[in-house]
Amino acid sequence: MLNKKRILKISLGALTTLMILQSCAAENATEVDVYSASKENVNSHVIYGSDGRLDLYQVSDDTLKRLADSTVALVKNDKLILQGHQVVITGDNYGTRLGLCTSERFREQNASAYCSGALVGEDTIITAGHCIQTVADCQDTSFVFGYAVKTASILPSAVAATEVYRCKSIIKQVLKSGGADYAVIQLDRKVSNHVALQMRSTGESVIGDELVVIGHPSGLPTKVTTGGKVRSISHPEFLVASVDTYGGNSGSAVFNARTGLIEGILVRGETDFVRSTAGCVVSKVCTEEACRGEDITKISVVRPFIPSPPVPPPPPSTSQRYSAVVNVAIPDRSSTGITHSLNVSSIPGNRKVYISVNITHTYIGDLVVKVTSPSGKVATLHQRAGGSSDNINKTYEITSIFSNEAQAGAYKIAVQDLAFLDKGTLNSWTIEFK
């Protein structure tokens, strides 16, 4: 993979343009502290091994396409022009602006984004903390879905207006020199046509894990960058990896290539560019284990500040309940007993069937209680059990007997008192399909 590059400070005039485009990149360990310097001094990133960047049309893996669909470009509002139902995205030619050599990939594309982000909730974006530092930064930024080369040779110039979102608030923003660097942003409305990305929920990645970065290197249309690997996880707030990223990738979601879960947010790294002997600018290239590597804020640091998804409402109840208040005395020592009918207008279907009975009696060992369905199935609820105990106030599940009942109509309860002396009353009963 190729790795991030930083522009050499050859001359203030020639390099001011280069450093502006790198404004969202990360800090070089040997240079000025980017957090106390102006944005023009923020550094970028590099290429490790061979260049792993792909335009969206070059990606055949459906999982990667799905992940890319929920990433965003951070674009300054003054680069966007509303025209009817579309928003035109303006920008400078990448190759011309940076004076790139003809060997550089994507030099024919325009660069419009200044940072990257990812959707992690119905209206929540994560990005790098140095990309959105103040409320003014947030208000000056649009979050654009779908800024990508989806067909070979057709460069993106506009997206549907529905794909452009604005900032409502900064939920959390952290920017530590050599530490955590992230921002959690609430958008101006819910995102209905893109799915929130999933994050690692426990633990952390291990050295050697393969990574994928999806974002906007140097402000270009979406690039899916494969072939990255974790180098170090020793710092509590960030991991270090060999990933082919540039300025503009800051804020990009970094995914575990095996699970598809977000491992972190790309925030800083190696110099992006160097000047060739021919005088033009080329990407800095490092071997896989050389150069400083790229820093990725661990998602475990960010996750506590990402709002939990709303709890969906419970499904509509499919229960049906039929009850009757009876208050009829049960004849003492009578095999005839009493019978009561309850008219039911539905059938059990696939639901469970419950019968609830409330009987007052001073010796329930005298009692027999049965229920008969419209088709003649009989369920015995109580068969002279309980001895001298008082009263029956109980719910019985009789699904196995009545679950296949195919008729609506009258269910009948029959109560017999088969012994002398103790007497009682059928107070009420209920049938429920649940």
CA distance 341 to 392: 19
> Which one-letter amino acid corresponds to residue 427?
N
Residue 284 and residue 340 in one domain: no
Residues 229 and 211: beta-carbon distance below 8 Å: yes
Among 280, 305, 330, identify where a domain stops. 305
Residue 212 and residue 353 in one domain: no
Residue 299 and residue 369 in one domain: no
Residues 164 and 74: beta-carbon distance below 8 Å: no
Residues 373 and 405: beta-carbon distance below 8 Å: yes
Residue 383 and residue 235 in one domain: no
Strands 238-242, 223-232: pairing is: antiparallel
In a domain, 311, yes or no: no
Residue 129 and residue 206 in one domain: yes
Residues 429 and 355: beta-carbon distance below 8 Å: yes
Q: Which pLDDT score is estimated for 124? A: 97
Residue 333 and residue 378 in one domain: yes
In a domain, 330, yes or no: yes
Residue 277 and residue 414 in one domain: no
SS3 100: strand
Q: Which pLDDT score is estimated for 27? A: 32
Residues 116 and 264: beta-carbon distance below 8 Å: no
Residue 203 and residue 296 in one domain: yes
Phi and psi based region of residue 277 (left: phi greater than 0; alpha: psi -120 to 50; beta: remaining):
alpha
Q: Which pLDDT score is estimated for 47? A: 52
Q: Which helix (H) or strand (E) holds 20?
A: helix 12-21
In a domain, 310, yes or no: no
Residue 72 and residue 147 in one domain: yes
Residue 194 and residue 243 in one domain: yes
CA distance 190 to 183: 18
Among 282, 305, 328, identify where a domain stops. 305
In a domain, 314, yes or no: no
Among 273, 305, 337, identify where a domain stops. 305
In a domain, 338, yes or no: yes
* CATH code (residue 333): 2.60.120.260
Residues 35 and 206: beta-carbon distance below 8 Å: no
Instruction: Sheet containing 392-397: give its strands across.
Output: 320-330, 424-433, 353-361, 392-397
Length of the chain, in residues: 434
In a domain, 312, yes or no: no
In a domain, 268, yes or no: yes
* Dihedral, CA of residue 224, residue 229, residue 233 and residue 235, to nearest 10: -60
Token pair of 75, please? Answer: 């674009």
Residue 145 and residue 265 in one domain: yes
Range of the domain at 412: 320-433
Residue 165 and residue 196 in one domain: yes
* CATH code (residue 125): 2.40.10.120
- Those residues of the chain that have pLDDT short of 70 are 1-51, 288
Q: Which pLDDT score is estimated for 289? A: 73
Ranges of beta strands (E only) in 299-388 are 320-330, 334-344, 353-361, 367-372, 378-383
- The structural domain count of the chain equals 2
Give the count of beta carbons closer than 10 Å to the beta carbon of residue 203.
Answer: 7
In a domain, 223, yes or no: yes
CA distances from 47 to 103, 116, 317, 363, 420 (A): 14, 18, 57, 87, 96
